A = this chain, B = another copy of it.
Amino acid sequence: MIDALDGRIIELFTAEPRVGVLEASRRLGVARGTVQARLDRMARTGVIRGFGPEIDPAALGYTVTAFVTLQLRQAGGHDPVAAGLAGIPEVIEAHTITSPGDMLCRVVARSNADLQRVIDLIVATEGVERAASVISLANQIPARTLPLVRAAGRES
């Protein structure tokens, strides 16, 4: 999948996204073309999805994060519900999960009171029967992928 050099490239660009390809090649001790080729390949194979800006919802005022488990009406399936949820900006992510007929959503809101409003929107979505929510008190391990990269880079 990826090798140790790929891992080091990803690590470097994660730590300092502003470095260019040339500077990266200097730091890693390889030719510029190599770094470029590796980046191209990883982008092509999908390992690197992109270099878009990472937005912090908290800095935008959405300081409350919650996980909402949905119970769906059996008929109709998941997709229409997902489409409905996609219309709610505060629904940041949604998965269908193993518990039959259920979904798990990640939701943000400006306050606990605002969360109530968002949950009401979710429950009002066609096909949603019940919603159980759990509020995140602290993000003990912020989303990370570097350990995976290191693990994948070591073994191959």
Chain A interface (Cβ < 8 Å from any Cβ of B):
1-2, 10, 13-15, 17-18, 45-62, 65, 67, 78-79, 82, 85-86, 88-99, 103-106, 108, 134-145, 147-152
CB of A49 within 8 A of CB of B56, answer yes
Nearest CB of B to A94, in Å: 4
Nearest CB of B to A28, in Å: 15
CB of B54 within 8 A of CB of A137, answer no
Identical subunits present = 2
CB of B47 within 8 A of CB of A103, answer no
Which B residues are in CB contact (< 8 Å) with A14?
Answer: 52-53
| Assembled-state Cα–Cα distance A137/B96 (Å) | 5
| Assembled-state Cα–Cα distance A52/B52 (Å) | 7
Which B residues are in CB contact (< 8 Å) with A59?
Answer: 1, 45-47
CB of A60 within 8 A of CB of B152, answer yes
| Assembled-state Cα–Cα distance A19/B11 (Å) | 22
Nearest CB of B to A137, in Å: 5
Given A60-B2, A62-B148 in contact, is the A138-B96 Cβ separation under 8 Å? yes
Given A13-B53, A51-B52, A51-B54 in contact, is the A65-B95 Cβ separation under 8 Å? yes
Q: Can you name the residue of chain B whose Cβ is closest to the Cβ of A52?
A: B14
